[in-house]
Amino acid sequence: MQDLPSRSPAFERRPGSTRRRRAGRPRSGPAGRRGHRVLRFLGWLAAAGVLAGGVGIGGALIALAAYSYSLPSVSGLLSMGPPRDSYLLAANGTLLATLNEPGTHHIHIAYKNISPWVIRATVAVEDRQFFSSTSGINVPRIIAAGLHDVLHPHSLQGASTIPEQLAKISFLTPDRTLSRKIREVLLGAAITSHFSKDQILQMYLNRIDYGNQATGIGSAAELYFHIPASRLNLAQASMLAGIPDAPSAYDPLLYVGAKGPNYAKERQGVVLEAMVANHAITQAQASAAYHQPLTYYPWQDSQPIIAPDFVNFAVGQLQQQFGEAYLNPGGWTIRTSLNLPYQRLGERLLQNKANNARLARDYNIHDLAMVSVDPRNGEILAMIGTSNYRGPWGQINMTDVVRRPGSTFKLFTYTAAIASGKFTMTTPVLDEPININGYQPHNYDYLFHGLCPLKICLGNSFNIPAVKVEMMTGLGNVVTMAQRMGAKNMLNPANTYGVALTLGGLSQGLTELDLATGGSVLAAGGVLHQPTTILQVQQNGHTIYRYDLAQNSVQVVSPGVAYIMNAMLSNNNNRVAEFGYASHLTLPGRPVSAKTGTTDKQLANGAYSPFIEDNWTVGWTPQLLTAMWVGNPSGAPLSGVTSGISGAAPLWQDFMTSALVHQPVLWYPKPASLLAVGSGSNTNYYLPGTVTRANTPYPCLPAYKVNWHGNC
C-alpha cells in the first residue's frame, strides 16, 4: 500500500515489545543446542499432524487422551466472562459513577452491537481464516510457530486462532510450554464445535485486553473515543484492533503530542494491511482510515464521578448490604436516592468561590458541608462533604465525620424532656448563674434572662435552662433518646456522659448525618428512617432488591411529642429575643422548624475557650430536611461568629428556599390526643395529663450542688 508504512506481515510486532500472547522466555543451555530445538519443532509438527487428522476423523484424538482427559468443559464458557461494570444512577437515571474492580473496566456488549469494522479488523489481523475454518486449528500457523521456535531461541511463537486465544484467556495459565499449547489447541477445537462464530467473537471481543484498564471492545470504545462500540468507524476500529497484540506498546495515549515513532499508528497500518489482504476493505479505504485524525481521551475521563461524597457513601452502603457482589460478578444497575437538581443547587451554593472567599475573610470559615434528606422515608437527596474538593481537606466527607454538635444536641434533650411528662412547652425555667460541681455553663451572649417558658428557652437556645432541663429529665433518658433518634455515634454507656452533653459536650461527637437523622424523626412525626441511598438494584434486567419503607420505619417518639417539638421550633416568636423577626431561620411563605448550634473550641486541658469551632443549622419542612455545617476540619477557630445564624443559617436558608420553590406548603396535622390552648401563633399544645402542670416551675435538684435562686 503506497501511503501506509512498509511493514512485515500482519502478525509482526515491534522488537522488544511485550506481546500478550507471545511473551519471550529465556532459553537454557548453550546456543548450540540446536538439536533440542529441532526435536521441539518435530514435536510441534507431530502434534499438529495428529490434531489435524484427529479433528477430521475423530479417531486420532485417542492419541491425545492424556491431554483431553483433564481438559475443562467449555459448555459454561458463555457465562464465564470477566466481572462487569456496575452503574450507580441518580433518582432520575443520570449516571453518577461506574463501579468496577480496581484496574479493570468492562462493559459487556452483545455481538449485534459491535461495529462490523471491529469484526473485520480483528479477524483480519488475528485469524484471517476464522470464518472459513471449521476446526479451530490452524495447522500452517502451528508449523510456522514450531519453525520460528527452532530458528529463534529467545522466544516461543504463539500461532493461536481466535478460539484458541479465547481458550487461553478463559482456562489456561500464561506459561509457554508445548503441553499448554496442545491443551489450548484442543480447547479451541472444542469451542469451535460447541459455539457459533458469532458467539465465539462476542466472547473473545468482550474479554481481551485493550490496555488502560479496558477489558473488552465495549470498554475500549467508551474509554478511548467516548462512543459505544456500535459506532466505531474503520479508523477507530483498526486502531483498537491492533492494541491487544501488545497493550502497553500500542497504547495510543502514549503518543498523543509525542515526537518520534508512533508504534500505535504503525500497528494500525498493519491492521489495515491485513484487512486489505483479507479483502475486507480496499486500498483506498485503508489509506483514508490511516490518515483520518483521531481524538483520544485519557482513561480517567471514561469514568467521571458526579457527587463524589454521595457516591462514596452509597458504595459503603452497597458493601454493607451486599458485600462485593456489585463488583464481582457485577453487572448491576443501582438506582439511588440522589436528587440531582438538589445536589447541583447545593454545590452551587457551597462551592461558590466568591462567597467562600468572603466567609474565609470575615469568619475564618474554610469549609462547608450539607446533607439533605426526605424525612418521610430517610432517602438522602443531596450530600456535599466539602466546599473544595481540591483543597487540603477535599477528600474528607465532613457530613460523615464526628464533630461536637453544640446546641443542636438540644433537639434530643428537649424531646426527652417533653416525652418524660415533666415538662410542657410552657413550663417556666429560670435562666440565672449556676454552679454544678464546678461546672458553670454560660449563654452565648453571656447574659441571663430570668424566667422563660420552655418554648422560649429552646427557641432562643439559652444554655443554662437547657442544662437544667437535662438534669431534671435525667441524663440517661437524654442519652437514650438521642440513640433512639438515630445518633449512631453515641456509643458510650449512658452513665459516662456529663452534664455538658446538652450543649454538645461529647468527646466523640456526632456526624452531620446523625443530626439530620435526629431532626428527621421529628419531621416524620416521631418515625425513625435510617438514612438510605440504595433504592433499587437490577441485574440482567431483573430486580434483585427494592427499598422497603415499611422495614425502615420505626416509631421512636410519639406523634404528640414530635408535634410539640415542631410547634416550638417553627414558631418564630419563640426566637425573636436572640435572632430577631427576619432571621435566616425562616422561609418565605411556609412554616419551618429549625435549630442552630455553635461549638466552643476545646483547649488541650479540657477547658473551653471563648472561640467558636463549629457552626450548625438543622431545619426542616415535612418534605425536606437540610443540615448545614461550616467550620474548619483542622479545628481552627472561627472569627466573628457568635451564634448559629452567622455562617450556616444563610446557606441553609438559601438552599431550602430554592429547593422548595415549586413544592406545596405543607405542615403537620395535630394529633387528636393533644390538648390545644390558645389560638394562632400563641397556641400551646399539651400531652394528655400535663396541662395541669403547664405553668409549674421545675423542682429543686438536691443531688447537685446547685447555686440558683427561686423556684425551689
Q: Residue 24: which pLDDT band, with cuts at 50, 70 and 90?
A: very low
pLDDT mean over 211-223 = 94
Structural domains of the chain, with CATH: 34-70+103-296 (1.10.3810.10), 345-693 (3.40.710.10)
pLDDT at 54 over 70: no
pLDDT at 344: 98
> pLDDT digits over 261-288, tens only?
999 999 999 999 999 999 999 999 999 9
pLDDT attached to residue 96: 95
Please report the pLDDT score of residue 156 as a whole number: 40
More confident residue, 640 or 557: 557
Q: What is the pLDDT of residues 603-657, one digit of tens each?
A: 554 455 667 889 999 999 999 999 999 999 998 988 876 565 678 999 999 999 9
pLDDT for residue 569 is more than 50: yes
- Characterize the bridge pairing of strands 332-336 and 86-89: parallel
Residue range 134-149: average pLDDT? 55
**For residue 703, what pLDDT band results from cuts at 50, 70 and 90?**
very low
pLDDT at 50 over 70: no
What average pLDDT does this structure show over 675-694? 90
The predicted structure's pLDDT at residue 710 = 38
126 has a pLDDT exceeding 60: yes
Q: Which pLDDT band holds residue 445 (cuts at 50, 70, 90)?
A: confident
What lies within 8 Å, CB to CB, of 151 at 6+ separation is none
Phi then psi for residue 495, to 5 deg, are -80, 5
Higher pLDDT, 529 or 132: 529
Q: Which three cell numbers stand for residue 475?
A: 441524663
pLDDT at 332: 96
pLDDT score of 605: 47
How confident is the prediction for the chain on average, in pLDDT?
Answer: 85
- Give the pLDDT of residue 505: 87
Query: 525 vs 156, 377, 488, CA distance in Å?
Result: 74, 12, 20
Better-scored residue on pLDDT, 609 or 299:
299
Higher pLDDT residue, 309 or 33?
309
As a whole number of angstroms, the distance between CA 395 and CA 573 comes to 41
679 CB burial (10 A radius; 0-12, 13-18, 19+): exposed
Residue 36 in this model has a pLDDT that exceeds 80: no
- CB distance 371 to 516 below 8 Å: yes
Q: Is pTM beyond 0.85 here?
A: no
pLDDT at 521 over 90: yes
Of 370, 396, 367, which is closest to residue 383 (Cα–Cα)? 370
C-alpha cell at 334: 443501582
Rounded-to-integer distance, Cα 400 and Cα 386, Å: 11
The size of the chain, in residues, is: 712
Residue 677's alpha-carbon distances to 293, 301, 402, 422, 674, in angstroms, are 79, 62, 41, 18, 10
